[in-house]
């Protein structure tokens, strides 16, 4: 099923610097999204879920600001420790 709304949302969030984009190699109608991601981030889209999740955790860790929040840092959260094992 084509997800045109998702494409619009992708374009909306792309310039935020907070996008980690991936898709399976057999996904249809993704050439434009791939092109936009390469243009804005100078990166190749992630092709598997494991690498996409690892990049997402790294981005979230880099964006985390301990002094602006009382949220536990990602490294100290139990669920992240389980994922990294």
Q: Residue 67's pLDDT is what? A: 45
Q: What is the DSSP letter of 75?
A: G
Q: Residue 58's pLDDT is what? A: 86
pLDDT per residue as tens digits for the range 23-62: 999 988 888 889 988 988 899 999 999 999 999 988 887 7
pLDDT over 80 (residue 2): no
Q: How confident is the model at residue 21 (pLDDT cuts 50, 70, 90)?
A: very high
Segment 13-29 mean pLDDT? 87
Q: Name the pTM for this structure.
A: 0.64
| Whole-angstrom distance, CA of residue 23 vs CA of residue 48 | 7
Report yes or no: 53 and 47 within 8 Å, Cβ to Cβ.
no
At residue 34's C-alpha, the angle toward residues 84 and 8, to 5°, is 100
Phi/psi of residue 75, each to 5°? -65, -25
């Amino acid at each position: 099923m084509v997800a045109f709304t998702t494409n619009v949302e992708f374009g909306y969030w792309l310039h935020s610097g907070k996008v980690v984009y991936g898709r399976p190699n057999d996904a249809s109608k993704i050439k434009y999204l791939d092109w936009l991601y390469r243009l804005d981030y100078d990166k190749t889209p992630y092709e598997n879920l494991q690498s996409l999740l690892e990049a997402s955790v790294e981005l979230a860790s880099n964006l985390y600001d301990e002094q602006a929040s009382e949220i536990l840092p990602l490294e100290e959260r139990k669920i992240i420790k389980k994922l990294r094992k």
